[in-house]
Amino acid sequence: EDQVTQSPEALRLQEGESSSLNCSYTVSGLRGLFWYRQDPGKGPEFLFTLYSAGEEKEKERLKATLTKKESFLHITAPKPEDSATYLCAVQAADTGNQFYFGTGTSLTVIP
C-alpha cells in the first residue's frame, strides 16, 4: 500500500510558467512532511518541513503548503535551474524516524 503518491510524474514548463506539484499521503499520525530536490546522480537536498495542516513555507520561487491529506509545492515563475526531481517524504508517528518517499515529480523548465 502506497503511503506517498506524487503527481504528475513529469512536468514540462516554459520559463516563467507557474505550476504546482502534488503529494498525497495516507499515514496515521503525520509527524512531518518533507520536500526535497534531487538532481541527477545526486542525493536529495532538503527544502522544507511541514508539520500541521494549514502550514506554509516559502523559499525563493518555491512555496510548500499542507492539508490533512496532501501537500503542494508551488513553483512561481520557474527558471531553467529549477529543473530537477522534487521528492516528497513523510514521517509517521508509529514508524519511528524513517522517511517514506514518493516516486517524485521530474520538472523540466524550458528557456
- Which residues of this protein are in contact with another protein, per CB under 8 A? 31-32, 34, 36, 41-46, 49, 51, 87, 89, 91, 95-104
CB of 15 to another protein, least distance (A): 27
Residue 81 or 94: which CB sits closer to another protein? 94
Q: Is 21 exposed, middle or buried (0-12, 13-18, 19+ CB in 10 A)?
A: buried
Residue 19 or 95: which CB sits closer to another protein? 95
As a whole number of angstroms, the distance between CA 77 and CA 19 comes to 8
Cβ-based neighbours of 59, under 8 Å, separated by 6 or more = 47, 48
CB of 59 to another protein, least distance (A): 13
